[in-house]
Structure 1
Amino acid sequence: MSSQTPRYSIELLAPARNAEIGICAINHGADAVYIGASSHGARAAAGNSVEDIARLCNYAHQFGTRVYVTVNTLIYPSELKEVEKLIGRLYRVGVDALIVQDPGILRLDIPPIALHASTQCDIRTPEKARFFQDLGFSQIVLPREMTLEEIRAVRAATSVPLEGFVHGALCVSYSGQCYASLHCGGRSANRGECAQICRLPYDLIDGRGRVLAKGKHLLSLHDLNRLDDLPAMIDAGISSLKIEGRLKDEAYVKNTVSAYDRMLRKMGVERTSAGTVEREFTPDVSRSFNRGFTTHFLYDPRATGVAAHESPKSLGAEIGKVQSIRGNRIELQRPALLANGDGLNFLFRDKTVGFRVNRFEPPKTIICTGHNAPEGLKPGTILRRNADKRFADILAAPSTARRTIPLTLTLRRNGDSLILDDASGAAAAIDFPKADEARTPQADARRRVIAKLGDTPYSLLQLTDMLGNEFVPASVLTRLRRELTETLSDAMACSMKRELRAPEKADAIWPEGTSLPPEANIANPLAEQVMRSHGVTGTIERAPEAGGSPAAVMTMRYCLRRELGRCLLTEAGREWPEPLTLIGAPRPLTLRFDCARCLMQVL
């Protein structure tokens, strides 16, 4: 980044399916969590009551950790008042910001809560990013598909923090531009009801009717993993590092958040929240659910190897090759260390076949359940582990990490007052005249009392005791400790003043023309008002969810031709005549290739 580009402290942003998982994410190192409200949260299966969100806010704010709530679906006219009331309630319980898609929210009668522009807003260009900043959005979530160069261009054009995905499932289409669920079944991803059309198996048919691929998951991508790319992303201008996964379980969140927190601490970057984490395990993202990993298009907009055509399931890491089979006994060549209860799988006739390890006899023998090995298993077959029993048991423990704010304290006397102060400047004082010297050493006993911080977010890192051998009752020290922790918590609460929404600039102009197609996702009159007030004077077509007809069902940077080595700009590509069609969804899907912009569309 240039010296003129703003730099922000780094935020590790974690998903929370519910308040318990949100608290778990905080305990394992998250600087912020995002969670769905009871409605309009883009994940219909991950809604939460306002009361639960309030509980999460109260816990998070002890560490300076922020809570963002997703209200990022399109809003129908009949729902505007309901959303208005919901936002008011969320603000009153302490939510720090909303992640939103529908611009109509700007015209609701709501408190001045900060707004973040969701990835559903499809902000791919510097001009569009600047427009959303000028509307008053205080953080912008960028598409997963963007390259480092494209991120730098957005960073140079804006001054608000930029949020980028670092880990988790990948949508094949640009977010906000996927209408496949609506097209095939009447559900809508922009309404929180994605039907996972991209994870289905397909046959690929060319213009001559030839079957080019059969039963392959041709639109299913690997999972994102940018653990080793954090320095590059931060250097390009990303300050909020987002882990995908509001439908993921607690074990996944523990492991993934821990891996990224540990990497950021190793890098020594300044963070947006306080505290250190002590873990009872070593994180390893390869041992949690994943479809294989990719950095996507971070370094190359024409990257290949980003798709998982064999299966949309978690296959796991290779653990060995079958050497021989005898009944239900499987001998492996140089296997990894297995455990009873591990889940293994292999590919057979283009399908994933899974089975459990009933018993493992080191160094290389698996005993299967039943009398025989699974059908299709034979010598030479590669086995993978997609359920790691030993690691799962570790993560299932009720306490796998403890987060505290370490204190460096000084205990001293000033006249008739005892003072306990922290290196940050906070202090507590109690009137207690000096007593006689004790007959036995007192420093260790005083330290034990002051270190009893278990019901607080604090831990004792260092105590400088300047009282010599003076006797001080434990009750006095306990009172002094409690007063100091209350002072520290009050100071944290004061520092957690919520960012208010920036004013909307009247001269902000929509950068993509004076008319809006259905893909602009305008679903209510208030959203239309916003766009009319910012340069849209022509036709505004309704969002597909409100009756509009999009030009494409999906638009994506991923290109199936390129992935399969059949780019239209090559001789090999021209051997597959147009149109290419995917058969496997409720409706046939025709592919269109925009070679000028290197995009693929599904029609």
Structure 2
Amino acid sequence: MIHIQNTLPKKPELLAPGGDIEKLKTAVEYGADAVYVGGEGFNLRMGAPDITLEEINEATTWIHNRGKKIYITLNIFARNYHIRSIRPYLEKLAEIPVDAVIISDPGIFFMVREIAPHIPIHLSTQANTTNGKSVEFWYQQGIQRIILARELTLGEIQEITENSRAETEVFIHGAMCMSYSGRCLLSSFMTNRHANLGDCSHACRWQYTLKEEKRPNETYPIVEDESGTFILSSRDLCMIQHIPELVRAGITAWKIEGRMKSQYYAAVVTRIYREALDRYFADPDNYIYDERWLSELEKVSHREYGTGFFFGNQGYNSQTTHPGNSYIKEYDYLGTVHNVLSEDTAEVLVKNRISGNTSVEIMGKRLNEDFSQVLMDIRNEQNEPIETANAGQKVLVKVSRPVRKYFMLRKYG
């Protein structure tokens, strides 16, 4: 009798947000296979620190030396003035060996093909690709990878992936948008900040009340709660408890949202999905979910977690935050190990105020490297004892166990 073995899909690429140079390096140090960063003025995160062409060149060399990849986001819905200004940018970008650009606008797509035909192109989730025929259309135009719409179920994603010649990518963690794959006009109407040009004010996450025309001085909560309502505010996506289902869908790349989030966020989220992914592929038949993974993801600033549309539209309560619930932030990010001076001394770049005699957690690049201790001795760069250190300072601290560069310090509350 011939035994037919079910083949395991190829291990997906873990793609993390870059933001600036340090965040980009942090994501790679904590396990990302690739990073995505914003092209100056042409991406959908105007509030994020864009990375210059010189920095992209530097980062590309650094990343390629480590066998990783870098993608540049150029995914605004362009106006005429963008089209005029993007040409010189693309001409310079074409000289840098980046691994792909991410676009959503057909006009920018044509310009990339004209000016930098050697650069692979990925189609942004903003293009709202929801079916296999659309995937095939874009593939025939020369698009290598499709970042699928966030509204698809796992079943739909698997069907598309199994029948597609293009690579596929999906978001598996991070902020969600109440509008269709992010194509929102609410911010433009209310604040003149255009979400589709990268300047969203997140008006959907404000608290709203109801006014009746003849009672202009009276307001009524849309949901009867003293804290108002977040009727338009979506939960954050978190798929850490569903690694096997994601693997079986055959997706090429798993994407973590968060170019406007902190270096600490990139580290925590990337290392947890890295560990879960590696554990699954090491022994799929005996894979066991680790409850510590979700606990760790709770230690970054986030909204209530949910699974988005992966398991279908499960209704209002599964997609929106409850009234009164805003961002959950129980841990403070204190700093990053900038240099290791000896087995028991580290130089730390301070991100938030650090005081002596404080209980802290020191977070490694893997869960088994974490440990807790009290910071008994803090010294400035001149090796003089100090009681507190503020953001931007470099300080020397004694550590109870060996640490490595990019390890992080945090504390509860």
Q: What is the TM-score with the length of structure 2 in the denominator?
A: 0.70
In structure 2, the CA distance between the partners of 1:231 and 1:91, relative to structure 1 (3 Å rule), is farther
Task: Determine whether 1:390 maps to 2:360.
Answer: yes
Deviation at 1:5, TM superposition (A): 11
Residue of structure 1 in register with 2:12 after alignment: 10
- How does 1:35-114 map onto structure 2 within 5 Å? 35-46=37-48, 47-108=50-111, 109-112=114-117, 113-114=119-120
Task: Determine whether 1:137 maps to 2:151.
Answer: no
Q: Distance in 2 between matches of 1:193 and 1:243?
A: 20
Task: Determine whether 1:265 maps to 2:271.
Answer: no
Query: Aligned to 1:251, what secondary structure does the other structure show?
Result: helix
Query: Aligned to 2:151, what secondary structure does the other structure show?
Result: coil
CA contact (8 A) 1:206 1:212 kept: no
Deviation at 1:86, TM superposition (A): 1.4
* Number of residues of Structure 1 aligned to a counterpart in Structure 2: 321
Write the letter of the residue equivalent to 1:66. K
CA contact (8 A) 2:240 2:294 kept: no
Q: Distance in 2 between matches of 1:124 and 1:5?
A: 26
- How does 1:537-548 map onto structure 2 within 5 Å? none
Query: Aligned to 2:326, what secondary structure does the other structure show?
Result: coil
Query: Aligned to 1:216, what secondary structure does the other structure show?
Result: coil
Residue of structure 2 in register with 1:306 after alignment: 319
CA contact (8 A) 1:10 1:269 kept: no
Task: Determine whether 1:288 maps to 2:300.
Answer: yes
In structure 2, the CA distance between the partners of 1:203 and 1:389, relative to structure 1 (3 Å rule), is farther
CA contact (8 A) 1:8 1:161 kept: no
Write the letter of the residue equivalent to 2:233. S
In structure 2, the CA distance between the partners of 1:229 and 1:150, relative to structure 1 (3 Å rule), is same
Write the letter of the residue equivalent to 1:122. N
Residue of structure 1 in register with 2:165 after alignment: 159
CA contact (8 A) 2:193 2:199 kept: yes
CA contact (8 A) 1:256 1:283 kept: no
Q: Distance in 2 between matches of 1:300 and 1:100?
A: 27
Which among 26, 30, 33 is matched to residue 31 of structure 1? Answer: 33
Residue of structure 2 in register with 1:213 after alignment: 223
Tell me the alpha carbon deviations over residues 493-533 of structure 1, each in whole angstroms, 9 at most, x when there is no partner: xxxxxxxxxxxxxxxxxxxxxxxxxxxxxxxxxxxxxxxxx
CA RMSD, 1 decimal: 3.4
User: Which structure 2 segments of 5+ residues have no match?
Assistant: 284-292, 335-354, 367-403, 405-413
Deviation at 1:144, TM superposition (A): 2.0
- How does 1:560-599 map onto structure 2 within 5 Å? none
Q: What is the TM-score with the length of structure 1 in the denominator?
A: 0.49
Share of identical aligned residues, percent? 30
Q: Distance in 2 between matches of 1:293 and 1:15?
A: 19
- How does 1:541-556 map onto structure 2 within 5 Å? none
Write the letter of the residue equivalent to 1:218. I
Write the letter of the residue equivalent to 1:293. Y
Deviation at 1:282, TM superposition (A): 11
Write the letter of the residue equivalent to 1:390. V
Write the letter of the residue equivalent to 1:300. G
- How does 1:224-239 map onto structure 2 within 5 Å? 224-239=237-252
Residue of structure 2 in register with 1:203 after alignment: 209
Deviation at 1:237, TM superposition (A): 2.6
Write the letter of the residue equivalent to 1:237. G
CA contact (8 A) 2:42 2:74 kept: yes
In structure 2, the CA distance between the partners of 1:212 and 1:105, relative to structure 1 (3 Å rule), is closer
In structure 2, the CA distance between the partners of 1:208 and 1:224, relative to structure 1 (3 Å rule), is farther
Q: Distance in 2 between matches of 1:236 and 1:305?
A: 22
Write the letter of the residue equivalent to 2:223. A
User: Which structure 1 segments of 5+ residues have no match?
Assistant: 271-280, 318-337, 342-357, 361-387, 403-453, 455-603
Deviation at 1:106, TM superposition (A): 3.2
Deviation at 1:208, TM superposition (A): 12
